[in-house]
Structure 1
Amino acid sequence: MPMPRNYQQRRMNYRARNTEQDSDTDDTHSVHSSLSHGASTLFSHDDRSSVSSGPVSVSHALPHRGTGLRFRPENMYPDRFTLADIEVPRGPWVYLACPGSRRKCPHCKVHVSHSDHVVVAVDGACSKNAKDGARSSYGVFWGHNNVLNTAVPVEGENHHTNQVAELRACMRALLDVVHVKSLFEDQGGALSVVVIKSDSEYLVRGVTEWLPKWKRNGWKNSRGLDVANWEHFKAIERLTEDLERQKIIVKFWHVPRRNNRDADAMAKAVLRGVWNRGLGLLPPF
């Protein structure tokens, strides 16, 4: 499915700024580390300079923390990429496609990807949203048959809502990044970038746009009241900063609901009682 119209419109500026420098990708070059391009090709830390020698240098396409927590693929990928193309599932992980990939592998049907850039999908669900007797749950999807995939009821909350469940899912994903880093390093790899994918505008805009304003106002909203769920947003900020100190870049990606079906299905399966931690979805699906 092509990217929505607003994605295409934003890319007009991209095309005006960038001359395509795509390099050929052969059938055997399906995954590479961005370390082969020098510093991280897609993103940069404050203390990293762009030394990319790769096919498309977009290390400055998104600014660093403070103005660039939002992942905006429309500013990074050529028009031939659909939203689905940006994610490259391989084994138990989902990687970010390389913007310089000219064509999909004819065997795998996916683009070349960066082996140190991963995408994790999060979502929350709530029955009787914000009402008496409400129950909520969340799903965290790292990839098919990934041992870190999580679908659990939300516990320890006095007030159950979809928004709280979505924030808890994000917190869980960020906590698990440390384990992902260790797994990659144990296999001789590295983890440079984690993209949190969510269909929740509340989560993504809350973290990337509204949170700095809330902090300046002492976690008060425009009416002088406490920001709803401020503790969760504060925890997400702390977890993100902890990862950045470990040289892991964290980005937040807002996608349509149809592009977040795995995490959504996991969260809802918990409420329906058809999720087993060891087996995943149980029949009926």
Structure 2
Amino acid sequence: MAQATFITIASDGGCSPNPGLGGWAFAIYDGEAVKGSELLDASGRAVEMAGTAEHSTNNIMEVTALDRALCMICSLAEAGRMSPCEIRLRLDSQYTLNAFFDWIPGWKRRGWRKADGKPVKNQELMMELDHLKAQLEEMGFSFRNDWQRGHAGDFANEHVDQMVQAAREEYLGKSKCKVGKS
């Protein structure tokens, strides 16, 4: 399969309750992420992944999903399995997209502090996103914001949302302890 001129990352994360048991997921599509489109192939495996965190927040899970997707793209590019192209970020998290495209440069200039002087929340994750973005841009990748309203019928957004829920349900099914508030 020839790589399209762009790829789409769909990612999502969430907790229930918030804070509480969290789940994150991503899928990387070759070209536009529409029903029936192909997930990128890496040695015969679909490039999608999901995971959980026992004690987390919605924002941490949203950022973690994008972080893991960008790590995967770095790995594929370093292995020669992906050529530089535009990466379209199809997320429903304005927090994650605003941080990635707008806020991080200002936070860095202010020593990882927000405009009000308070420390940036989730600073380690934000620093990791910044590092991955710089690494991918150095390889020749570019980025485009493709925000999607959550639960509005977008195929890719709904797919990763279902993956998040499935990861959380699988965790709960394996756990012998009740997670969350009693």
Same fold (TM over 0.5): yes
Q: Give the corresponding residue for 1:169.
A: 65
1:160 aligns with 2:79: no
Structure with greater proportional strand content: 2
Q: Give the corresponding residue for 1:218.
A: 111
Percent of pairs with identical residues: 24
1:266 aligns with 2:152: no
Query: Relative to 1, partners in 2 of residues 1:274 and 1:227: Cα closer, same or farther, differing over 3 Å?
Result: closer
Q: Which has the higher contact order (CA 8 A, sep 6+)?
A: 2
Q: CA deviation at 1:190?
A: 3.2
Maintained 8 Å contact 2:52/2:171: no
Write out the 4+ residue segments of structure 1 that deviate beyond 4 Å after TM superposition.
143-146
Q: CA deviation at 1:178?
A: 2.6
Query: Pairwise mapping of residues 247-266 of structure 1 onto structure 2 (< 5 A)?
Result: 247-257=140-150, 258=152, 259=154, 260-266=157-163
Query: Pairwise mapping of residues 106-185 of structure 1 onto structure 2 (< 5 A)?
Result: 115-130=4-19, 134-143=20-29, 147-154=46-53, 160-181=56-77, 185=80
Q: CA deviation at 1:217?
A: 1.6
SS of 1:218's equivalent in the other structure is coil
CA distance in 2, matches of 1:220, 1:190: 35
Q: CA deviation at 1:268?
A: 1.3
Q: Which runs of 5+ in 1 are unaligned?
A: 1-30, 34-114, 276-285
Q: Which has the larger radius of gyration?
A: 1
CA distance in 1, matches of 2:145, 2:132: 13
CA distance in 1, matches of 2:171, 2:124: 31
Query: Pairwise mapping of residues 230-249 of structure 1 onto structure 2 (< 5 A)?
Result: 230-249=123-142
CA distance in 1, matches of 2:127, 2:118: 16
CA distance in 2, matches of 1:249, 1:223: 30
Q: Give the corresponding residue for 1:202.
A: 95
CA distance in 2, matches of 1:270, 1:176: 19
Task: Write the deviation string for residues 256-285 of structure 1: whole angstroms up to 9, x where unpaired.
Answer: 11221111111111112289xxxxxxxxxx
TM-score w.r.t. the length of structure 1 is 0.49
Give the AA of the match of 1:127.
Answer: S
> How many residues matched?
155
Q: CA deviation at 1:163?
A: 0.3
CA distance in 2, matches of 1:32, 1:177: 16
Maintained 8 Å contact 1:127/1:271: no
SS of 2:114's equivalent in the other structure is coil
Q: Which runs of 5+ in 2 are unaligned?
A: 30-37, 40-44, 173-182
CA distance in 1, matches of 2:83, 2:99: 29
Structure with greater proportional helix content: 2
Q: Aligned-pair RMSD on alpha carbons?
A: 2.6
Q: CA deviation at 1:250?
A: 2.7
CA distance in 1, matches of 2:73, 2:2: 20
Q: CA deviation at 1:182?
A: 6.1
Q: CA deviation at 1:223?
A: 3.2
Query: Relative to 1, partners in 2 of residues 1:193 and 1:274: Cα closer, same or farther, differing over 3 Å?
Result: same
Q: CA deviation at 1:154?
A: 2.8
Maintained 8 Å contact 2:23/2:168: yes
Query: Relative to 1, partners in 2 of residues 1:215 and 1:272: Cα closer, same or farther, differing over 3 Å?
Result: same
